[in-house]
Amino acid sequence: MGRSQAIGRGFDPRFGPEADDAGCTILHVDMDAFFASVEVRRRPELRGRPVVVGGAGPRGVVSSASYEARRYGVRSAMPGARARALCPQAIFLPPDFSAYTEASRAVMAIFRDVTPLVEPLSLDEAFLDVAGAQRLLGRPAGIARAIRERVLAEQRLTCSVGVASSKFVAKLGSTRAKPDGMIVVPADQVLDFLHPLPVDALWGVGEKAAEHLHRLGLKTVGDLAGAPLRMLRGSLGEASAAHLHELSWGRDSRRVVAEHEEKSIGAEMTYDIDVTDPATIQRSLLALAEKVGARLRAGGHVGRTVAIKIRMEDFRTVSRSRTLPSSTDVTREIFETVWALFRVLAPAEPIRLVGVRVEGLAPAATTPRQLTLGEPEHGWRDAEAAADAVAARFGRSIVGPASLLGRTDLRRTENHPHSTVVPLSDPPTPS
């Protein structure tokens, strides 16, 4: 993409959070000064001070700079010596990529609670396609607002969001919204947003290309859009000229592409202390089944084969699976299946890890499910779909199985201590 500093900042009411978002189903979410913000989160005494990640050694390069440091001209990829000369009072910290990766995973998990169509570009930014999420979560701008609120509440980090009808414009929007802001570019005002920008804001325009365009008298994106294509070809070449001409008119047909097509969906949990108590394992399997079920529903998948994985204290691993009469995405059915498999296995040795997986995935929309005799028309599936909508907006700690409410240690499916089991709640009564 072009240089982000070329894109102007500041509020324009035409592109504010309340602008018309009809057809603007592409979101670009960009974390604000991500590495530096993660460091400030764990060192609150640094809040409000210029913080630079990286760049400490004689050949060091700046990886991230807080906005307090950026006011002095410090930028990512700048030599550390230059950053120190610009801002001698800055606090320089070595990068901790394990911490940044962990924070990134947590943020991306929030995105995937909203839509399975998440395309990460790096640890700190991603495209989201929220077209399919509108039925449950409302309009795109409202979804973007809810994402920003969740990231702040759950991760104590801020992000900026661009809401638009294409990936290119959404990314420009998030850059202009920084820091900690949101911009909506209405589908019928894309050119009003785009054409006043400098040409080096365009994807693919670096310093050399910008020099060529400036020599042609093309300063803004609007100038480039009005230039004859043959003139651009003569200066930039066939491919670059066609690419930039299309972008200058806001034309970008690329879709949001998730990382990979999943053939199975699963989750695992490793105990801090090896476990023998069946009640503890029962609760763990329920938490894992809840996570797997939510991922299936978010991705629009169902699966017929449910599997359990158990690793003993000596690292011996046992797996068992069962193929169901029909495909499912219902947490309750997944849990009942893995609990039945566990009871058949009845391991006597202490357990260090348990896992739940659903395999044989198929699109839910093309896989009809026949009700069994006596099964209510509305029940667990409807209750869990409603819980998904609440979780996407407020987080999974708000709603879920009664025996897991308040147990964030289990529901994150991270390492956890022993616990006692609460009897599982009965199925919801159909109305």
> How do residues 264-315 score in pLDDT, each as one tens digit?
888 888 887 899 999 999 999 999 999 899 888 877 889 999 999 999 988 7
Residue 326 lies in a domain: yes
Assess contact for 328 and 302: CB atoms under 8 A.
yes
Look up the domain containing 28 and give its range. 7-103+131-184
36-45, 53-62, 135-144, 344-353: the lowest-pLDDT one: 53-62
Residue 115 lies in a domain: no
Is 29 found in the same domain as 177?
A: yes
Q: Per-residue pLDDT tens for 329-356?
A: 999 999 999 999 999 999 989 999 999 9
Q: Note if the pTM is more than 0.85.
A: no
Residue 405 structure tokens: 């409410």
Residue 172 lies in a domain: yes
Spatial neighbors of 258 by CB under 8 A, at least 6 apart, are: 116, 117, 118, 119
What CATH number is attached to the domain comprising 52?
3.40.1170.60
Is 177 found in the same domain as 83?
A: yes
Which residues are documented as binding site for Mg(2+)?
Answer: 30, 124
Residue 377 lies in a domain: yes
Residue 95 lies in a domain: yes
Active site residues: 125
Q: pLDDT tier at 421 (50, 70, 90 boundaries)?
A: very low
Residues 105, 107, 110: CA angle, nearest 5 degrees: 110
Is 173 found in the same domain as 201?
A: no
Is 171 found in the same domain as 203?
A: no
More confident residue, 380 or 403: 380
Which residues are documented as binding site?
Answer: 30, 124
Is 368 found in the same domain as 278?
A: yes
Q: What is the mean pLDDT of residues 44-53?
A: 96
Q: What are phi and psi of 172, to 5 degrees?
A: -60, -40
Residue 273 structure tokens: 């202390």
Q: What is the arrangement of strands in the sheet containing 301-312, beginning at the earlier edge strand? A: 264-275, 351-363, 301-312, 317-328
91-93 and 51-54 beta bridge pairing: parallel
Quick one: the chain helix, strand, coil %, rounded to 5?
Answer: 45, 20, 35
Q: What's the structural domain count of the chain?
A: 3
Is 272 found in the same domain as 142?
A: no
Percent of the chain at pLDDT above 90?
59
Residue 419 lies in a domain: no
Pairwise CA distance, residues 338 & 351, whole Å: 15
